[in-house]
């Protein structure tokens, strides 16, 4: 099975250094990220259309931004990552949050219509968690087992689909019952990422109960001991537990902050916002300030409040430079 490393290790190394030099658990890379300072004359509207995974974080950003600029109007729609590219292309949104990278065909449509590609900005670090009921004794799962549980194609090397917990070594009577599967719907970036990485590009079983939101996946898993589901780690609740996973065998990796930062945890990923930045023109003042806020100390504290990991300062500067912001 091909080993995938979706995270840029240069930036993760920088993030590790920043993480261990901080003393408070909610510190955001210490003093390296700038403190956001209010600008004069910011007014207008902000519209965001895209990822459900990023709904909570985007809403927090918008609410905090509005507390700085009370006269702006803002709207957040979060129906799934697939809704971001057309909204951005058609001008019905200024910001397109996505929990996956934009696909080639989505990028091509935008570039055909505008003459330049959309600008991709990495705004947080996330990991997809494999959730089971809190009383499930399973110790960990490999990609081969995850694929055998969720997929109909067995692309990760298995030779038999897993349909009961007893096949995974659970000795209790309930282990003979069918595994109940929960996941995201096909417009979700989490769905696409999980399909590409955890299922090795294969297809989901028809029996996966597709949910419209990340929170509903986790809540469903909490409802029964025979359940399993995948979702963004930031949506964890008390009735479930996250299980360690491995690329191969039983060398399981816990989804800790350090393991996510270093890329050891196999389902680590960046989260994105896409913007329509014409190379010949600057962003509007309200768009510029919103992005400055996202990459500020205050903005990245909200990232951690939502259960994600903040981007390191060097990456923040790099991303802002893509849209002509250098301060």
Burial 9-29 (b: 16+ CB within 10 A, else e): eebbebbbebbeeeeeeebbb
The arithmetic mean of pLDDT across residues 109-113, rounded, is: 98
Same domain, 122 and 132: no
Share of the chain above pLDDT 70, in %: 91
User: Do residues 257 and 308 both lie within one domain?
Assistant: no
**C-beta separation of 97 from 58 below 8 A:** yes
**Residue 4 pLDDT > 70:** no
- 260 and 277 housed in the same domain: no
In the predicted model, what is the mean pLDDT of residues 180-199? 94
H or E element in which residue 224 lies: none
Q: What is the pLDDT of residues 247-288, one digit of tens each?
A: 999 999 999 988 988 889 999 999 999 999 999 999 999 999
187, 98 in Cβ contact below 8 A?
Answer: no
The residue whose two tokens read 């190394």 is 13
Q: State residue 235 phi and psi, 5-degree precision.
A: -100, 15
CATH of the domain at 72: 3.40.190.10
Do 106 and 228 belong together in one domain?
no
Greater pLDDT, 218 or 327: 218
Tokens of 264: 């050891």
Examine residue 290 and state whether it is found in any structural domain, yes or no.
yes
| Cβ proximity of 83 and 77 under 8 Å | yes
pLDDT band at 124 (very low <50, low <70, confident <90, very high): very high
**Judgement on whether residues 233 and 309 belong to the same structural domain of the protein:** no
Whether the pLDDT of residue 321 is over 50: the answer is yes
| Residue 114 and residue 133 in one domain | no
Domain count, the chain: 2
Do 151 and 247 fall within a single domain? yes
171, 285: one domain: no
Position 3 in a domain: no
- Per-residue pLDDT tens for 163-178? 999 999 999 999 999 9
Q: Which two tokens stand for residue 70?
A: 């009370």
**Do 151 and 206 belong together in one domain?**
yes
* pLDDT at residue 253, rounded to an integer: 97
Categorize the per-residue pLDDT at 37 as very low, low, confident or very high, splitting at 50, 70 and 90.
very high
Span 40-82, pLDDT tens digits: 999 999 999 999 999 999 999 999 999 999 999 999 999 899 9
Give the mean pLDDT of 143-153.
97
Instruction: Determine the structural domain holding residue 122 and report its residue range.
Output: 9-19+31-126+269-322
Beta carbons of 302 and 5 less than 8 angstroms apart: no
Q: How confident is the model at residue 17 (pLDDT cuts 50, 70, 90)?
A: very low
pLDDT at position 23: 29
Claim to verify: residue 156 and residue 137 sit in the same structural domain: yes
Q: Is residue 228 part of a domain?
A: yes
Residues 114 and 137 in one domain: no
Q: What pLDDT was estimated at residue 323?
A: 97
Residues 6-33 have a mean pLDDT of 44
Indicate the pLDDT class of residue 3, thresholds 50, 70 and 90: very low
Decide: pTM greater than 0.85.
Answer: no
Cα distance between residue 73 and residue 46, in whole Å: 6
- Residue 237 and residue 30: Cα distance in Å, rounded? 28
Taking residues 1-20, report their average pLDDT: 42
Q: How confident is the model at residue 307, as a pLDDT?
A: 82
213 confidence band (pLDDT: 50, 70, 90): confident
């Amino acid at each position: 099975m091909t080993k995938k490393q979706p995270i840029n290790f240069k930036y993760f190394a920088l993030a590790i250094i920043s993480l261990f030099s901080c003393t408070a658990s909610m510190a955001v890379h210490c003093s390296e990220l700038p403190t956001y300072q209010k600008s004069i004359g910011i007014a207008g509207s902000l519209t965001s259309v895209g990822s459900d995974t990023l709904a909570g974080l985007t809403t927090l950003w918008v609410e905090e931004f509005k507390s700085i600029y009370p006269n702006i109007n803002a709207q957040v729609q979060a129906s799934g990552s697939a809704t971001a590219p057309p909204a951005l292309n058609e001008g019905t949104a200024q910001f397109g949050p996505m929990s996956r990278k934009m696909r080639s065909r989505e990028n091509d449509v935008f570039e055909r219509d505008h003459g330049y590609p959309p600008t991709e900005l990495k705004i947080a670090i996330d990991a997809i968690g494999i959730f089971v009921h809190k009383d499930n004794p399973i110790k960990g799962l490999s990609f081969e087992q995850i694929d055998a549980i969720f997929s109909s194609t067995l692309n990760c090397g298995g030779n038999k689909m897993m349909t009961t917990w007893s096949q995974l070594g659970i000795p209790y009577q309930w282990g003979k019952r069918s595994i109940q599967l929960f996941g995201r719907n096909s417009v979700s970036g989490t769905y696409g990422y999980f399909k590409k990485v955890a299922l090795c590009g294969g297809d989901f079983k028809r029996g996966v109960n597709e949910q419209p939101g990340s929170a509903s996946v986790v809540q469903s898993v909490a409802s029964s001991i025979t359940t399993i589901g995948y979702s963004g780690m930031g949506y964890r609740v008390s009735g479930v537990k996250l299980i360690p996973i491995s690329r191969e065998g039983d060398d399981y990796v816990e989804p800790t902050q350090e393991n996510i930062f270093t890329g050891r945890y196999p389902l680590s990923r960046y989260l994105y916002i896409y913007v329509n930045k014409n190379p010949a023109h600057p962003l509007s003042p309200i768009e510029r300030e919103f992005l400055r806020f996202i990459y500020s100390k205050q903005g990245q504290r909200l990232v951690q409040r939502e259960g994600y990991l903040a981007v390191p300062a060097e990456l923040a500067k790099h991303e802002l430079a893509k849209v002509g912001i250098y301060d």
